[in-house]
Structure 1
Amino acid sequence: MIAITRSSFCCSAVLLTLMVASQAAAQTDRLYPRGGEVVLGRIKSISKNGIVMTVSGKDQTFNAGAIEKVLFQGDPSGLTEGREFALDNQFEQAITELKTVDAGKLNRDEQKADFAFYVMYCNAQQALSGNGDLRSAASGALNFIKQNTNSWHFFETAKLLGDLAMSLKSYDQASKYYGSLRTAPSAETKIESMYLNSLVKLAQDNAADAASDLQKIVGISVQSAEGARLQTLAKAGLAVALAKQGKGDEAITTVNELIAKLNPTDTETAAAIYNAQGASYAAMGDNEGALLAYLHTHLMFSTYPAAHAEALKQLAELWTQVGKPDRAAEARSELQQRYPGLSG
């Protein structure tokens, strides 16, 4: 029989305490850069410009625009799964998972902020897809910004506020929110600010100024895939601006060049290009050409709600104009069923 003395018990307790402390010190967060390998370390600080992470004893800085996601040590499964669904644009599933999270049991402020962001983000995206209240979503995004001024999601939320304002046709507000992206550390986010503000000008029928801004984006030297994607979107927008100025041939040439180089896996960009082709033909009075372009979005790229809803709206009008009211009714019915908040 082994005797356990008071001194040996105390030593064991000390060793256990040291082991627990060592495990706590070894806790790791996971940061996923866009297009890069996961980085393991410990979050040191977070600001709207990005994250400083201690990796193997050294601090590394990651700009907000270059971060895809962060997994915090101790994340509950509902937050982990909800985050993944949200990033995969499966917002209903994300909301279901996030509802299982007890926010009161989240131990770290950065976890609480991340959880609050994804709840807000999913609700806003649902509203933007026509399945939620736009004004309520905008209020939620504003509240997130006010309560989390140092979140690395700051600029992403500013863009979201601009998108919501655009859907509400509050163009001055949209311009303000999109304009705030110019202060972001990422070069791509600065370009995105110019692009989004040009869309505001197009929505306000200020085609000349929009074309000028879009031409500047096309002429920028970009160094990343995201920068190149934004230039492609800018060319699509430029085609619409040209058509609205009566430069139909130039507009169609521009958009057809984009279609020739189309990446069908980039659904958002493909839908934007075909919608731009439709808008260009419509501006020229070519209803048949516009119909074919919008049908491309409807039949092939319907997974992007905003572009698909726009295509359905235009199809409903165009079918009427070419004397096919039954097809117009079908397009209008699908718009109301799939995107009730965007059917007006």
Structure 2
Amino acid sequence: MSKQPFSKITITALSLASLLVNASSVRAQSDRVYPLTGSAIIGAVAKTDAQGIQVKRGSNTTNLLAGEIRKILFEGDPSALTKGREFALDGQHEEALKELNGIDLDSLPREVIKADTEFYKAFSQSQLALAGRGDKKAAAAAMLGFASKHRDSWHFYEAAKVVGDLALSLGNTKDALKFYGALSRAPAVPTQIESVYWTGMTHLAANDIAAANTEFDKILVLKVDSVAAARLQSLAKAGKATALAKSDQADEGLDLISGLVADMSSSDVEMAARVYNSQGAIYEAKGDIEGAILAYLHTHLMFSSQSDAHAIALSKLVELWPKVGKPQRAAEARDELKQRYPGFGS
């Protein structure tokens, strides 16, 4: 039997299908990936998993590791996600949730966009909870729900870190160690170092000083070759200094922390807040109450945007001001602690 030629209708349908495929391909080429360093990469995010992403640009393929990506703007993002994502990355989490909570997930055109929406919602909910302005258990459940649903997301290890933070804040050191330990399987070296650092901080919170020192020492002996790794090494020094103070070696701890105070940049708010809180703990261990108050005041007055460290500094000021005959200052610190971090310690 001889083949019949395509009808004009069939040809038109095939041409339309081809145009639609080509149009979809053009749209996919408009994803923008922003690494932690360097310029944005424009292309099609062709694959994502816990290890990272694959970006295709014509015949070229670029692989980026999770932990080396700041953000991705996907073709098809609703404006509420674009705004909410930026608010979340900027630490404006209440504003982020106002945008993100209004997004209908079923209306989103791509799974990666749904995953990004759910991650930033859970992330902002968690950051508010960690600051004492939300339910920590509910936030942990939301982030675990995201991780379970989107195991192929490049946010997977970020999610593990946040759940570890919430567990540590709740005093659940067993779960904190489990989730921080998961970071050791991340592909980016700074994230692996972060796993060791937070494991040490968890042991420190549990007053297991020997275990904490073991973890901090693993970082201190490293030959670091990146800004991120060097920063974690400095944070480990602050942790080690606090551990020394808790093991009756306050003078050694003070020597270590003094070098960090001299070299740190005040623009790194997290670093500064943790260093000054460590300095406060060391002075307190030495019996220098005025020195401890001054250190915690640095965190309170200059680095209050680092909510977890700020809450700790305020709680310490509540304890220390009466010891120098200033109960009114203690009352002021207590009022601010209750107002800004109503869930602190719970």
Distance 1:9 1:139, change over 3 A: closer
d(CA) in 2 for partners of 1:132, 1:337: 13
- Partner of 1:342, secondary structure, is coil
Aligned counterpart, 1:304: 306
* Cα separation, 1, equivalents of 2:326 and 2:80: 49
Residue 290 of structure 1 aligns with which residue?
292
The match for 2:323 is 321
What is the CA distance between 1:320 and its match in structure 2? 2.1
Partner of 2:74: 72
Alignment of 1:59 onto 2:61: yes
- Is the CA contact (8 Å cut-off) linking 1:138 and 1:164 kept in structure 2? yes
Residue 204 of structure 1 is matched in structure 2 by 206
2:283 counterpart SS class = helix
Task: Quote the offset at 1:213 in angstroms.
Answer: 1.8
Would the aligned equivalents of 1:243 and 1:251 in 2 still touch at CA under 8 Å?
Answer: yes
Query: Secondary structure, in 3 states, of the residue corresponding to 1:26?
Result: helix
Contact 1:237 1:276 in 2 (8 A): yes
Match of 2:191 in 1: 189
Measured in 1, the distance between the counterparts of 2:210 and 2:91 equals 34
- Alpha carbons 1:162, 1:173 under 8 Å: kept: yes
Q: Gapped runs of 5+ residues in structure 1?
A: 1-6
Q: CA deviation at 1:175?
A: 0.5
Conserved in 1, the CA contact under 8 Å of 2:169 and 2:345?
Answer: no
Task: Mark the CA change 1:179 to 1:14 in structure 2 (over 3 Å): closer, same or farther.
Answer: closer
Letter in 2 for 1:299: L
Scaled by the length of structure 2, what TM-score is found?
0.93
- What CA distance in whole angstroms lies between the structure 2 residues aligned with 1:52 and 1:10? 36
SS state of the match for residue 65, structure 1? coil
Structure 1 distance, partners of 2:81, 2:323, is 49
Identity in percent: 46
Is residue 123 of structure 2 the alignment partner of residue 97 of structure 1?
Answer: no
Distance 2:21 2:205 in 1: 58
Checking the alignment, whether the CA contact within 8 Å between 1:165 and 1:173 is kept in structure 2 is yes
- The whole-number CA distance in structure 1 between the counterparts of 2:323 and 2:141 is 39
Bigger CA drift: 226-235 or 143-152?
143-152
Distance 1:13 1:149 in 2: 38
| Matching residue of 2:342 | 340
Q: Distance in 1 between matches of 2:13 and 2:137?
A: 57
Residue number in structure 2 paired with 1:164: 166
Contact 1:268 1:304 in 2 (8 A): yes
User: What letter matches 1:25 in structure 2?
Assistant: S
Match of 2:254 among 252, 255, 261: 252
Structure 1 residue 284: Cα displacement: 1.8
1:283 Cα shift? Answer: 1.6
CA distance in 2, matches of 1:178, 1:237: 16
CA drift at 1:20: 4.4
Deviations 1:150-182 (A, max 9, x none): 111110000001000011000011001000100
How many angstroms apart in 2 are the aligned matches of 1:275 and 1:147? Answer: 38
TM-score under structure 1 length normalisation: 0.94
CA contact (8 A) 1:208 1:245 kept: no
- 19-28 or 84-93, which moves further after superposition? 19-28
Contact 1:134 1:164 in 2 (8 A): yes
Corresponding position of 1:3: none
How far off is 1:204 after superposition?
1.0
Worse overlay, 152-161 or 52-61: 52-61
Decide whether the 8 Å contact of 1:336 with 1:343 is kept in 2: no
- The count of residues paired between Structure 1 and Structure 2 equals 338
Q: Is the 8 A contact 2:88 2:120 kept in 1?
A: yes
CA distance in 2 between partners of 1:232 and 1:48 (Å): 27
Of 18, 30, 33 in structure 1, the residue corresponding to residue 32 of structure 2 is 30
- 1: distance between equivalents of 2:106 and 2:214? 50
CA RMSD of aligned residues (A): 1.8
Of 14-23 and 296-305, more deviation after overlay is shown by 14-23
Contact kept, 8 Å, 1:279 with 1:290, in 2: the verdict is: yes
Q: For 1:274 and 1:189, locate their aligned partners in 2 and report how far apart those are by CA, in whole Å.
A: 24
CA distance in 2, matches of 1:114, 1:24: 20
Q: In the alignment, which of 209, 230, 233 is matched to residue 231 of structure 1? A: 233
- 1:215, CA displacement in angstroms? 1.9
SS in 2 for 1:341: coil
**d(CA) in 1 for partners of 2:101 and 2:83?**
11
Which deviations, in whole Å up to 9, do the C-alpha atoms of 1:193-219 show, x marking residues without a partner? 000000011111111221232122111
Contact 2:213-2:243 within 8 A present in 1 as well: yes
Instruction: Give the Cα separation in 1 of the matches to 2:54 and 2:344.
Output: 40
What runs of 5+ residues in structure 2 fail to find an aligned partner? 1-6
Amino acid at match of 2:286: M
Amino acid of the structure 2 residue aligned with 1:159: K
Query: Partners of 1:94 and 1:316 in 2: how far apart?
Result: 32
Shift, 1:8, TM fit? 11
Could you tell me how far 1:142 is from its partner in structure 2? 1.3
Q: CA deviation at 1:100?
A: 2.7
Aligned residue identity for 2:133: N
| Preserved contact between residue 51 and residue 187 of structure 2 (Cα < 8 Å) | yes
Q: What is the letter of the counterpart of residue 55 of structure 2?
A: M
- Amino acid of the structure 2 residue aligned with 1:131: R
Question: Does structure 1 conserve the Cα–Cα contact (< 8 Å) formed by 2:170 and 2:345?
Answer: no
